[in-house]
Chains A and B, each alone.
Chain A
Amino acid sequence: MKKEKQIVQKGLSRRTFLKGTAGSIAAALASSGPGKFLTQGIYAPALIQQNNTVVFAIQEFAQPAIQSVLEKFESDTGLTVQLEGGPVSGNDMLTRYSPQFASGTSSVDLFSDADDSSPTFMRAGWVMPLDEIIPQETWDDFPPSMQDHIRGFLSIDDVPYRIPHEFAVGYFFNRQDLLDEKGLAIPTTWEELVEVGKEVTDAENDIWGTTDALIKPALLYVYVAYLTAQTGGKVFDFDEGTGEALQFLYDMIHTHKIFPETALNQDYTAQNELYMGDKVYFMRQWPFFQGVAEGNAEWYAPEKMVISLPPAGPAGSKSWIGGWGFSIPTYAPNPDGAKALIQYLTSPEVAPVLAEQQGFLLTPRYSILDALKDSGDELIAAMGLYAENNVFAPRAFHPRVAEAQTVVDDMASLFLTKQATLSEVLEQGKELIAALDE
Chain B
Amino acid sequence: MTTQVLSKPRFRNPFAGMTLRQRFYLIAVLLLLPAIALRVFTSFYPFIQTLYLSTQRFNPAYPPQKFIGLGNFERLADDPVVQASIGFTVLFVVVSTFFQIVFGLALAHLLNAPFRLRNVARTLSLIPWAIPMVIAALGFRWLFDDQFGMIPDVLRRVLGMDTRWLIDPQNAKVAIIAVNIWKSTPFVALVLLAGLQGISRDLYEAARVDGANWFTSLRYLTIPMLMPIIITTGMFMLVWQLAVFDLPFLMTGGGPGFSTTVMAQKIYLESNSLNYGYAASIGVVMVVIVAIVGAVGLFLFRRFDVSE
User: Chain A contacts of B141 at CB under 8 A?
Assistant: 265
How far is A87 from B61 in the complex, measured between Cα atoms in Å? 19
Which of chain B's residues have a CB closer than 8 A to the CB of A402?
272-273
Instruction: Give the secondary structure class of B's interface.
Output: loop
Please provide the 4 A-B residue pairs with the shortest distance between their CB atoms, ordered closest to farther.
A216-B253, A102-B60, A414-B257, A124-B61
Q: Which residue of chain B has its CB nearest to the CB of A95?
A: B272
**What is the bound-complex CA distance between A139 and B257, given in angstroms?**
41
Smallest beta-carbon distance B299→chain A, Å? 37
Known contacts A206-B147, A260-B147, A262-B147, A413 near B62 by CB under 8 Å = no
Which residues in B have their C-beta under 8 angstroms from that of A416?
256
Q: Known: A124-B60, A126-B61. Is A265-B252 also a contact (CB below 8 A)?
A: yes
> Are A261 and B4 also in contact (CB < 8 A) when A91-B272, A417-B257 are?
no
In the complex, A270 has a CB within 8 A of chain B: yes
A213 CB to nearest chain B CB (Å)? 12
B256 touches A419 (CB 8 A): yes
| Given A262-B146, A270-B148, A406 contacting B269 (CB threshold 8 A) | yes
Minimum C-beta distance from B141 to chain A (A): 8
Bound: A98/B275 CA distance, A = 12
Interface 0/1 of B59-79, CB less than 8 Å to A? 011110000000000010001
Q: How many residues of A contact B (CB 8 A)?
A: 47
Using A126-B61, A270-B145 as known contacts, say yes or no to A413 and B5 having CB atoms under 8 A apart. no
Does chain B have a CB within 8 A of A295? Answer: no
Residue of A nearest to B146 (CB): A262
Q: Does B274 have its Cβ within 8 Å of any Cβ on chain A?
A: yes
A406 to B147, CA, bound (A): 25
Stretch at the interface among A5-13, A168-176, A304-312: A5-13
- CB of A4 within 8 Å of the partner chain: yes
A-B contact pairs, 17 of them (CB 8 A): A8-B2, A18-B30, A102-B61, A123-B61, A124-B60, A206-B147, A215-B253, A216-B252, A261-B167, A262-B145, A262-B146, A265-B141, A265-B256, A410-B257, A417-B259, A419-B256, A419-B259
Interface string of B164-186 (1 = CB under 8 A from A): 10111100000000000000000
Residues on B with beta carbons closer than 8 Å to the beta carbon of A98 = 60-61, 274
Tell me the minimal C-beta distance from A345 to chain B in angstroms.
26
Query: Could you mark each residue 255-272 of chain B with 1 if its beta carbon is under 8 Å from any beta carbon of chain A, else 0?
Result: 111110000000001001
Contact of B81 with A403 in the complex, beta carbons under 8 Å: no
From A216, A403, A419, B169 is in contact (CB under 8 Å) with A419
Contact, CB under 8 Å: A216 / B61: no
B6 contacts the other chain (Cβ, under 8 Å)? yes
A7-B3, A266-B147 given; name 20 further pairs at CB < 8 Å: A4-B4, A7-B5, A123-B62, A124-B60, A124-B61, A126-B61, A216-B256, A217-B253, A261-B167, A264-B256, A265-B141, A265-B146, A270-B147, A400-B273, A403-B275, A406-B269, A410-B257, A414-B256, A414-B257, A417-B169
CA distance A216 to B254 in the complex (A): 7
Q: Which of B214-261 contact A (CB under 8 A)?
A: 252-259
A7–B6 touching, CB < 8 Å: yes
Task: Judge if B46 is at the interface, Cβ distance under 8 Å.
Answer: no
What residue in chain A is nearest B152 (Cβ atoms)? A262
Instruction: A266 to B258: give the CA distance in the assembly, Å.
Output: 16
What's the Cα separation between A6 and B6 when bound, in Å?
A: 9
Task: Select one of A6, A14, A270 contacting B4, CB under 8 A.
Answer: A6
Separation of A171 and B79 alpha carbons in the complex (Å): 36
Query: Does chain B have a CB within 8 A of A428?
Result: yes
- B:71-106 near A, CB below 8 Å: 75, 79-81
Q: Which residue of A lies closest to B7 (CB)?
A: A4
Residues of A within 8 A of B30 (CB): 18
Task: Specify which chain A residues have a CB less than 8 angstroms from the CB of B274 in the assembled complex.
Answer: 94, 98, 120
Measured between C-beta atoms, what is the minimum distance from B272 to chain A in Å?
5
B27 at the interface (CB under 8 A from A): yes
Known A264-B256, A414-B257: A120·B61 in contact at CB below 8 Å: yes
**A413 and B164 alpha carbons, distance in the complex (Å):** 15
The reply to whether the CB of B120 lies closer than 8 angstroms to some CB of chain A is: no
Q: Is the CB of A413 within 8 A of B255?
A: yes
Q: Are A403 and B252 touching (Cβ within 8 A)?
A: no
What is the interface of chain B, defined by CB distance below 8 A to chain A? Answer: 1-6, 27, 30, 60-63, 75, 79-81, 141, 145-148, 164, 166-169, 252-259, 269, 272-275
CA–CA, A5 and B8, complex, Å: 11
CA A5 to CA B7, docked complex, whole Å? 10
In this complex, what residue of A is CB-closest to B271? A95
Find B254's partner among A7, A120, A217, A417 (CB 8 Å cutoff): A217
Determine how close the nearest CB of chain A comes to the CB of B26; give it in whole angstroms.
10
Structural contact, A403 and B146, CB atoms closer than 8 A: no
Please measure, in the bound complex, the distance between the C-alpha atom of A274 and the C-alpha atom of B147, giving whole angstroms. 10
**With A6-B4, A124-B62 as contacts: A265 and B145 at CB distance below 8 Å:** yes
Q: How far is the CB of A37 from chain B (nearest CB, A)?
A: 18
Asked whether A29 is an interface residue with its Cβ less than 8 Å from the other chain, the reply is no
Contacts of B273 in A (CB 8 A): 94, 400, 402-403
Closest chain B residue to A218, Cβ basis: B253
**Contacts of A102 on B, CB cut-off 8 Å?**
60-61
B73 to chain A, nearest CB (A): 14
List residues of chain B with CB within 8 A of the CB of A38. Answer: none
Check if A94 sits within 8 Å of B272, measured CB to CB.
yes
A297 within 8 Å of B by Cβ?
A: no
Contacts of B80 in A (CB 8 A): 428, 432
- Chain B residue with the shortest CB-CB distance to A126: B61
- Shortest A313–chain B CB gap in Å is 25
Please indicate the chain B residues that have their CB under 8 angstroms from the CB of A406 in the complex.
269
Q: Is A250 at the interface (CB under 8 A from chain B)?
A: no
Partner of A435 from B5, B75, B257 at Cβ < 8 Å = B75
Instruction: State which of A123, A264, A428 has its C-beta within 8 Å of the C-beta of B167.
Output: A264
A417 to B170, CA, bound (A): 11
Query: With A and B bound together, what is the CA distance between A262 and B80 in angstroms?
Result: 25
Give per-residue flags for A98-110: 1 if the beta carbon is below 8 A from chain B beta carbons, else 0. Answer: 1101100000000
Q: Cα distance A213–B170 when bound, in Å?
A: 21
